[in-house]
């Protein structure tokens, strides 16, 4: 009657084969998953390189289509190193307007650390007729640079002669 019971040696060998098959299966699954990951990474890198090239091409086309608008926007800010050119433009505006002027103060304003611009505060003393002063202020507001007039104080010292100051902010790119 003991013939139907497996021998201990046969049982141990079958358990060992079963364990080795289980380990082999686990190693196989691991190797297949790692190869799949490598293939997916290679595909996504290829896809992202193609997408980056496409994005660069699209951005280049957009920049070419909007050259004048981009130039206007760049001219809005006083670029670093272009401060002298900006002062020369103010002198030109004053000369064309007919006012006498003197720069009283120039100071850099505090702005947010993440901002792409810096503000420069200027105070200019002017003297001239009412018409000349208004022409100067109007031309100052219409400059191609980003200018925001903060304060104007004009007094008539004698008949037809006005003097005072204009405070304004100029936007400069960092």
Least confident window among 76-80, 133-137, 143-147: 76-80
**CATH superfamily name and code, 77-173:** Ribosomal protein S6/Translation elongation factor EF1B (3.30.70.60)
Contact 162, 130 (CB under 8 A): yes
**pLDDT, tens only, 104-113:** 888 776 666 6
**pLDDT, tens only, 59-89:** 888 888 888 877 766 666 666 666 777 788 8
What is the β-pairing status of strands 147-158 and 161-173?
Answer: antiparallel
Q: Predicted confidence band at 6 (pLDDT cuts at 50, 70, 90)?
A: low
Query: What sign does the dihedral 102-108-111-116 (CA atoms) show?
Result: positive
CB neighbour class for 12 (10 Å; exposed up to 12, middle 13-18, buried from 19) = exposed
pLDDT of residue 107: 77
Q: At what angle do helices 130-141 and 83-97 cross, to 10 degrees?
A: 150
Cα–Cα distance measured from residue 53 to residue 12, given in angstroms and rounded to the nearest whole number? 61
Name the maximum alpha-carbon separation found in the chain: 137
Helix ranges (DSSP H) in 66-153: 67-76, 83-97, 130-141
**pLDDT, tens only, 150-166:** 889 998 878 888 989 99
pLDDT of residue 22: 92
Say whether pLDDT at 2 is over 60: no
Q: Predicted confidence band at 14 (pLDDT cuts at 50, 70, 90)?
A: confident
Contact 111, 150 (CB under 8 A): no
């Amino acid at each position: 009657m003991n013939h139907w019971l497996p021998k201990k040696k046969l049982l141990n060998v079958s358990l060992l084969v079963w364990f080795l098959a289980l380990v082999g299966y686990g190693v196989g699954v691991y190797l297949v998953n790692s190869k799949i990951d490598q293939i997916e990474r290679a595909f996504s890198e290829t896809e992202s390189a193609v997408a980056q090239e496409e994005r660069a091409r699209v951005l280049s086309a957009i920049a070419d289509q909007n050259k004048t608008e981009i130039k206007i926007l760049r001219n809005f800010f006083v670029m670093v190193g272009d401060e002298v050119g900006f002062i020369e433009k103010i002198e030109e505006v004053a000369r064309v307007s007919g006012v006498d002027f003197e720069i009283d103060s120039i100071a850099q304003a505090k702005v947010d650390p993440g901002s792409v611009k810096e503000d420069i505060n200027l105070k200019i003393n002017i003297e001239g007729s009412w018409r000349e002063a208004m022409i100067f202020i109007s031309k100052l507001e219409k400059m191609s640079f980003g200018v925001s007039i903060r304060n104007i104080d004009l007094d008539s010292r004698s008949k037809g002669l006005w003097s005072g100051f204009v405070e304004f902010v100029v936007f400069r790119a960092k």
